[in-house]
Structure 1
Amino acid sequence: VVLGDDAVELSGGITAFGVRIPLQMTLEPQVQDNGDLLLVQRDISLGSLSLPNDKVLKYIDRYYKTPEWVTINPDEESIYVAVTQMELENNFHVEVEQFDLSNDNLSFKLYIPNDTFGL
């Protein structure tokens, strides 16, 4: 995963018929009101093959393991990253506040339980 000038770029590959095919996906980040992040697919390339975006996402969803707080939505051509559902050590809680790549402005809220500080 690379944070580009205005998009999130996902690189990897898919193995089909014993051959590794390069995968490049560009996603537009959208902060949700609850502090989660929606990544809307802009474009996708799978080697030199021309395949429907939703089919590639269905394949990724079916054959690649993602954390339970990541949901791939092939029909909507998006990936939902429920950062508010991530289980972090010490019961910390994270929310995305801003994810503005073009202005290099990424901000998050981090909630730390009082007992972490002995309060």
Structure 2
Amino acid sequence: MVLMTDKEKSKQKKKKTKKFFENPWKIAFLTLIAIIVSLVIVVSYRISTPRMTYDTKKETTIDLKDPILEVSMTKDQVNRAINYYIKDLFDSSGVDYTFHLDKDALIDGTFSLLGHDTHFYLYFEPFVLANGDVQLKAKDLTVGTLSVPIPAMINYISHSVDFPKWIEINPDEQYITLHLQQMKLANGMRVKAEQINLVNDQIRFNLYLSDNKK
């Protein structure tokens, strides 16, 4: 077995870091995934925080087809919450970026490329599917003054990153599907997106009890 010295380990680490930042496609897409995970964290936190009192002596009948809790958020709340969480996720990455929901969803960031600060913008549009999943349709990715082909970027990243099983990537159709019902929540509970309306500032998710609880 060959043991590496601290100096050799340091050189290897710097080499990997340099390689990472020389690939702007990977940075932009990993940022998008960080935002997806952050949104899941925010929703999970909101649905696990009690917001009502009830009489435990009163017998109730629960229809598993009906949601037990609705989580409503505004674009400003989502922006503040996600930027708070992704700051911790990418704090040591060397990438400076923000997430902003307006008419579209936008990732606005800066990273060092070949010794120069390079700006990138990633635009995508969110849709709620009939089954409560969320689909993100990529619209445009710009790195510096270059317009990067979205299918090529998505295809490259889909083979470079180990995504959770509930995230489906389709490079040809240029979309990412978040199968929210496949996410593992406490006690087998399920979450579905109800509405994402950026124009009217309405973002709602519903929480359902498990239909397989024994």
**Normalization by structure 1: what TM-score?**
0.77
Find the aligned partners of 1:109 and 1:73 in 2 and give their Cα distance: 26
The aligned residue for residue 197 of structure 2 is 100
In structure 1, list runs of 5 or more residues that go unmatched: none
The aligned residue for residue 39 of structure 1 is 136
1:55 counterpart (134, 152, 166): 152
Once the two structures are TM-superposed, the CA of residue 49 in structure 1 deviates from its matched residue by: 3.7
Question: Equivalent residue of 1:35, what SS?
Answer: coil
Question: Equivalent residue of 1:76, what SS?
Answer: coil
Map of 1:1-80 to 2, 5 A cutoff?
A: 1=35, 2-10=99-107, 23-80=120-177
Question: Equivalent residue of 2:156, what SS?
Answer: helix
Shift >2 Å, 4+ stretches: 6-14, 20-24, 46-51
Once the two structures are TM-superposed, the CA of residue 89 in structure 1 deviates from its matched residue by: 1.6
Question: Equivalent residue of 1:28, what SS?
Answer: strand
Question: Equivalent residue of 1:68, what SS?
Answer: coil
The 1:8–1:67 alpha-carbon spacing in structure 2 relative to 1, beyond 3 Å, is farther
2:135 maps to a residue whose letter is L
Q: Check conservation: 1:24, 1:45, Cα contact below 8 A.
A: yes
Q: Check conservation: 1:6, 1:100, Cα contact below 8 A.
A: no
Once the two structures are TM-superposed, the CA of residue 77 in structure 1 deviates from its matched residue by: 0.8
Larger radius of gyration: 2
Find the aligned partners of 1:21 and 1:58 in 2 and give their Cα distance: 22
- Superposed CA offset, 1:24-77 (max 9, x none): 321111110000011111111234444321001111111122221111111001
Root-mean-square deviation (Å): 3.0
Q: How many residues align?
A: 115
Once the two structures are TM-superposed, the CA of residue 94 in structure 1 deviates from its matched residue by: 0.5
Find the aligned partners of 1:102 and 1:54 in 2 and give their Cα distance: 27
Once the two structures are TM-superposed, the CA of residue 11 in structure 1 deviates from its matched residue by: 5.7
Share of identical aligned residues, percent?
33
**Normalization by structure 2: what TM-score?**
0.46
Indicate the structure with greater helix content: 2
The 1:77–1:93 alpha-carbon spacing in structure 2 relative to 1, beyond 3 Å, is same
Question: Equivalent residue of 2:169, what SS?
Answer: strand
Q: Check conservation: 1:93, 1:112, Cα contact below 8 A.
A: yes
Give yes or no for the alignment of 1:82 onto 2:208.
Answer: no
Find the aligned partners of 1:23 and 1:62 in 2 and give their Cα distance: 21
